[in-house]
């Protein structure tokens, strides 16, 4: 739900500030709508249902794999596509892969989202609504920002969403933010984020020339500079940096490249 609109609506009705917290706590526990919020008056529940949509995203389709993975395609209010994935593991983990943008401007050649037209950054509420959709299905305990988009290009929205994930049962240590090496955002992450949120680097090539061919961002922010920032993160925060890598044959066709990029979401999912 649009949390800013929620607070504005409650304030305009003269409701106490704690009401917004009550609504959020119900949503974070997996409530499917305002009707379940028994500590709110019936009149208030009805008013919220009319004035504050329960989700900022509209679910268009869901795909279910034999291994239990669920991929959801949403649309924003303007119709922009957003994908998120629920991954079920045999050891009981329930991990979410969420998007931070609709489309991506960085055009990595192996990534299906990179071939899309970039629409815009997602709001924190739109990011959270991806997670809340699956929280209504079952409990969740891990989240990776590895779907559509480059999280470091939308760092404020990503961090605002990530800082609310513990309310859904996803601790900071089980939250991972991935980057292809967008240095302005990465530097901010290193300097500003004190919570133990994990950092992952989409590497994909160890050599500058090859990386530039498949990841144009490397021309702007060379790998050596990105790795230096990752080392600074380790030295400052004493936390590991996770490395993501996909290996593609030099003769890989465009069709196979698209297939490889469908694992987690339409976005940088092949990592």
Task: Tell me 89's DSSP state.
Answer: -
Cite the DSSP H helix spans in 122-222.
Answer: 124-135, 155-162, 183-192, 208-214, 217-220
In the structure, what pLDDT confidence band is assigned to residue 256 with cuts at 50, 70 and 90? very low
Instruction: Name the pLDDT band for 115 (thresholds 50, 70, 90).
Output: confident
- 14 pLDDT exceeds 70? yes
Query: For 130-136, what is the mean pLDDT?
Result: 98
pLDDT for 16 equals: 95
Residues 6+ apart with CB under 8 A from 12: none
pLDDT digits (tens, 9 = 90+) for 151-193: 999 999 999 999 999 999 999 999 999 999 999 999 999 999 9
pLDDT at 254 over 80: no
Of 247 and 63, the structure prediction assigns the larger pLDDT to 63
Topology adopted by domain 1-54:
DNA polymerase; domain 1 (1.10.150)
Two structure tokens written together for 112: 């299906």
HSE-up of 32 (CA within 13 Å, CB side)? Answer: 3
What is the fold of 56-260? TIM Barrel (3.20.20)
pLDDT of the residue at 267 = 43
pLDDT in tens, 200-224: 999 999 899 999 999 999 999 999 9
Going edge to edge, which strands form the sheet with 198-202? 58-64, 70-75, 81-88, 94-97, 142-145, 175-179, 198-202, 241-244
* More confidently predicted of 269 and 40: 40
> What is the per-residue pLDDT for 266?
41
Say yes or no: do domains 1-54 and 56-260 share a fold. no
Please name which of 136, 167, 170, 138 lies closest in space to residue 36, comparing C-alpha atoms: 136
Give the orientation angle of helix 3-12 with respect to helix 42-51, to 10 degrees. 130
Residue 268 — pLDDT band, cuts 50, 70, 90?
very low
pLDDT tens per residue across span 22-62: 999 999 999 999 999 999 999 999 999 999 999 999 999 99
Domain locations in the chain?
A: 1-54, 56-260
Average pLDDT of every residue of the chain: 92
Q: What is the pLDDT of residue 262?
A: 37
pLDDT at 114: 86
Map tokens 């079920």 to a residue: 88
- Give the SS3 label for residue 236: helix
């Amino acid at each position: 739900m649009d949390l800013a609109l929620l607070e504005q609506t409650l304030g305009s009705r003269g409701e106490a500030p704690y009401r917004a917290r009550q609504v959020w706590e119900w949503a974070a526990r997996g409530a499917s709508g305002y009707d379940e919020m028994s500590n709110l008056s019936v009149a208030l529940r009805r008013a919220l249902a009319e004035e504050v949509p329960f989700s900022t995203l509209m679910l268009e389709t869901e795909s279910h794999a034999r291994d239990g993975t669920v991929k959801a395609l949403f649309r924003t209010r303007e119709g922009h596509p957003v994908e998120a994935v629920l991954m079920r593991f045999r050891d009981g983990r329930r991990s979410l892969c969420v998007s931070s943008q609709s489309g991506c401007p960085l055009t990595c050649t192996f990534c299906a989202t990179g071939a899309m037209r970039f629409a815009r950054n997602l709001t924190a509420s739109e990011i959270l609504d991806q997670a809340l959709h699956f929280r209504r299905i079952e409990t969740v305990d891990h989240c990776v920002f590895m779907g559509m988009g480059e999280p470091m290009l939308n760092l404020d929205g990503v961090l605002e969403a990530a800082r609310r994930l513990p309310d859904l049962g996803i601790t900071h240590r089980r939250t991972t933010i991935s980057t292809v090496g967008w240095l302005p955002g990465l530097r901010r992450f290193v300097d500003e984020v004190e919570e133990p949120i994990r950092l992952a680097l989409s590497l994909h090539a160890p050599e500058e020339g090859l990386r530039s061919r498949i990841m144009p961002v490397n021309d702007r922010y060379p790998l050596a500079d990105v790795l230096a920032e990752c080392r600074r993160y380790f030295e400052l925060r004493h936390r590991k940096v996770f490395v993501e890598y996909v290996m593609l044959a030099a003769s890989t066709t465009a069709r196979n490249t698209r297939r490889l990029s469908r694992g987690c979401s339409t976005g940088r999912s092949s990592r």
